[in-house]
Amino acid sequence: MNLHEYQSKQLFARYGIPVPNGLVASNGAEAADAARKLGGAKWVVKAQVHAGGRGKAGGVKLVDSPEAASEATEKMIGQRLHTHQTGPEGLPIHQVFVEQGSKIDRELYVSLVLNRDKGHVAFIVSPAGGMDIEEVAAHTPEKLIRVNVHPAAGLQDSQCRVMGFGLGLKGDQIKQFTKIAQALYKLYLDTDCSLVEINPLIVTGDKLVALDAKINIEDNALFRQKEIAGWRDASQEDEMERVAAQHELNYVSLDGNIACMVNGAGLAMATMDVIQLHGGSPANFLDVGGGATKERVSTAFNLILSNPKVKAILVNIFGGIVRCDMIAEGIIAAVKDVGVKVPVVVRIEGTNAEQGRKLLSESGLAVIAAKDLTEAAKKVVASAKK
């Protein structure tokens, strides 16, 4: 679950991480009022969307009057912001964050992620802040500093000093950075984060300030993060992915026209690969899970058919925990209830596979049977091209 910048900065402030003063606005009048309340001579109006690259896309404006803040806000609200992270469809802007302008002497990069190889939380810092960290990693990897934090020992001051010196900080700045790093580490653990990022952490005079903030929360831990779970902004999420999550389906939208319904993440990825191999393009990743039921299969059909780009459907089920006859019943019910008007290719194997195939063959429905995955992929690609 992603948080907006203003929400991330609320958490930062709770943990004593310095951030500029700012207020949220939903229209021009609120933005102008926010600028007056904050005071100063310059303000920054930032579109609140779950994506990076807002500045290059026109989602960050520097203004010098409350009236200009109002005008910039009115131009953003109700629009969709298109960045390199949103794709061509963009994300809707419903709010902006009006923030006091800051004097910037230097821009640094700081993030915390999970190092899955070691099972440690890892700091990644760089003196090249204010730009895409992917670009830094690709072209100047020597500017990246990585520090793994052992869960038993916790973050050590010595590790903070290593990062601070690597960032070119000196004297009291090292002490400030140590406090910020320790607070970030505590925040990461307390709120079940999967990512915390500051880009940039600015040096302004003799102070360090988090000019931007990005936090991702681990979905599986939201049951113990009640307040943060209430901050979810469904408008920033893919509608089909959100509906799928409500029904405990693992779904990711893609750009192709062949819908996939599979049980098991590995099998789903293999299915998409084979479709691509034979000249097709998958419209989604959909894992109905090992505990698939007739109702869940029917829901999955409804979900994938809500995508107007779908020209054919491939159902690839290996019955281990889940029974193939149950999947077949779900397919039959879905095709009848939903009124599927695109070709459906089905390959089922495993527990009760024969019973499942018999149910499908006797259903009277125009379901195309396949003996193996290669045959299924060839048939569904051909069907999608008709």
Summarize pLDDT for 249-289 with one digit per residue, the tens.
Answer: 888 888 899 999 888 888 899 999 999 999 999 999 888 87
Q: How far is CA 208 from CA 171, 187, 196, in A?
A: 12, 18, 17
Specify the higher pLDDT residue, 363 or 98: 98
> Fold for domain 238-385?
Rossmann fold (3.40.50)
Band the pLDDT of 292: cuts 50, 70, 90. low
Average pLDDT of the chain, as a whole number: 90
| Cis amide linkage into residue 141, ω under 30° from 0 | no
Mean pLDDT of 294-299: 75
Most confident of 83-87, 323-327, 380-384: 380-384
Band the pLDDT of 290: cuts 50, 70, 90. low
For the segment 121-146, what is each residue's pLDDT rounded down to a tens digit? 999 999 998 878 888 888 899 999 99
Six token digits for residue 24: 């949220």
Q: Which amino acid is at 274?
A: V
Mean pLDDT of 41-68: 93
For the segment 144-156, what is each residue's pLDDT rounded down to a tens digit? 999 999 999 999 9
pLDDT greater than 70 at residue 76: yes
pLDDT for 83 equals 87
> Is the Cβ–Cβ distance between 139 and 129 less than 8 Å?
no
> Is the Cβ–Cβ distance between 34 and 67 less than 8 Å?
no
Separation of alpha carbons 386 and 382, rounded Å = 7
> Is the Cβ–Cβ distance between 54 and 85 less than 8 Å?
no
- Classify 344 as helix, strand or coil: strand
Domain 106-229: which CATH number of 3.30.300.10, 3.30.470.10, 3.30.470.20, 3.60.21.10 = 3.30.470.20
Which residues belong to the active site? 109, 197
- DSSP per residue, 93-144: ---EEEEE----SEEEEEEEEEETTTTEEEEEEES--SS-HHHHHHH-GGG-
Domain ranges across the chain? 21-100, 106-229, 238-385
Six token digits for residue 313: 């459907």
Least confident of 88-92, 101-105, 312-316, 330-334: 330-334
**Which H or E element spans position 289?**
none
Would you state the CATH architecture of domain 21-100? Answer: 2-Layer Sandwich (3.30)
- Classify 202 as helix, strand or coil: strand
